[in-house]
């Protein structure tokens, strides 16, 4: 478990934004998996208008075998939280059904338990999810979009289980309110897959199994909290 050695420094406020820093130590082996450490995009526990925008890792206590990759005994983690500029967030859901062809292998007739052997369509839940953020600036938005498009959620996001939400991209529109306030409306577009995007129904087993390509999953994971404004 990580030990926080420097709780939040006093929040520094400038004419543009606010920021603060937290520092932890943990074992070198746990530097990327320790649940006490924040991910990029996570909210500050005390300041809900600050997100973790940068995280640095420094090795402490170099081991004798560092040359062969053993690394260090401990890790010092520094997380910088900064304010993020957004006006409001809206959500839209579109629920529907998606048909999938089933070849019948692995299914049996209930009356006599004989193999079914027929092909038919099964209907599964489908959801298109759009999350709109009104941002006063597009700072870091383009970089975040390029890094996240085509990836799936690495953790539960807006109640969608890990691995079930695919980021399809976003549309960006410049708008102006009735009062003259100008902002960017960014519509983040996702698609939900009830089994997970790295799982495919294997009919002879009658359930979904993970699929890999060259030893890797079909879709890479990322933390959608790193997308600005959402």
For residue 110, what pLDDT is reported?
Answer: 67
Give the structural domain span for 51: 3-83
**Among 83, 113, 136, which residue terminates a domain?**
83
Q: Which stretches of 7-149 are assigned E, i.e. beta strand?
A: 12-13, 18-27, 50-62, 72-83, 89-102, 120-135
Both 100 and 78 in one domain: the answer is no
Task: Please report the pLDDT score of residue 19 as a whole number.
Answer: 79
Q: Show which of 49, 83, 117 is a domain's final residue.
A: 83
Give the pLDDT confidence score for residue 121 in this predicted structure: 65
The pTM of this model reads 0.53
Domain count, the chain: 2
Say if residue 102 is in the same domain as residue 193.
yes
Q: Which residues of the chain have pLDDT under 70?
A: 6-17, 64-70, 84-89, 96-124, 177-181, 201-215, 229-230
Give the per-residue pLDDT at 86. 46
Is the separation of the CB atoms in 192 and 160 below 8 Å? Answer: yes
Helix, strand, coil shares, percent, the chain, to 5: 5, 50, 40
Do residues 61 and 94 both lie within one domain? Answer: no
Residue 110's beta-bridge partner residues?
A: none
| Chain position carrying tokens 């038919």 | 120
75 and 49 housed in the same domain: yes
Q: Are residues 111 and 194 in the same domain?
A: yes
Contacts of 12 (CB under 8 A, 6+ apart): 18, 19, 20
3 state SS of 160: strand
Tell me, yes or no, whether 137 and 161 share the same domain.
yes
Other CB atoms within 10 A of residue 69 CB: 7
Compute how many other C-beta atoms are within 10 angstroms of the C-beta atom of residue 25.
16
Q: Are residues 61 and 156 in the same domain?
A: no
Q: What is the largest CA-CA distance in the chain?
A: 76
Residue where one domain finishes, among candidates 27, 51, 83: 83
Q: How far apart are CA 148 and CA 143, in angstroms?
A: 9
- pLDDT, residue 122, reads 65
Per-residue pLDDT, 194 = 83
Q: What is the pLDDT of residue 136?
A: 72
């Amino acid at each position: 478990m990580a030990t926080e050695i420097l709780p939040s420094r006093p929040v520094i406020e400038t004419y543009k934004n606010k920021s603060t820093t937290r520092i932890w130590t943990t074992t070198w082996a746990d530097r990327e998996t320790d649940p006490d450490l924040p991910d990029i995009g996570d909210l500050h526990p005390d300041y809900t208008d600050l997100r973790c925008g940068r995280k640095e890792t420094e090795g402490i206590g170099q081991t004798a075998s560092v040359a062969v990759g053993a690394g260090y005994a401990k890790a010092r983690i520094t997380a910088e939280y900064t304010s993020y500029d957004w006006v409001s967030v809206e959500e839209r859901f579109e629920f529907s059904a998606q048909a999938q062809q089933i070849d019948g292998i692995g299914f049996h007739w209930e009356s006599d338990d004989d193999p079914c052997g027929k092909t038919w369509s099964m209907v599964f839940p489908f959801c298109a999810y759009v999350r709109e953020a009104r941002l006063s600036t597009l700072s870091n938005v383009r970089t975040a979009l390029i890094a996240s498009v085509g990836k799936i959620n690495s953790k539960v996001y807006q109640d969608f289980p890990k691995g079930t939400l695919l980021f399809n991209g976003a549309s960006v529109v410049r708008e102006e309110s009735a009062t003259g306030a100008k902002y960017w409306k960014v519509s983040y577009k996702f698609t939900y897959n009830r089994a997970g995007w790295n799982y495919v129904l294997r009919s002879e087993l009658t359930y979904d199994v993970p699929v890999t390509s060259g030893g890797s999953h079909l879709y890479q994971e990322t933390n959608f909290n790193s997308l600005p404004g959402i």
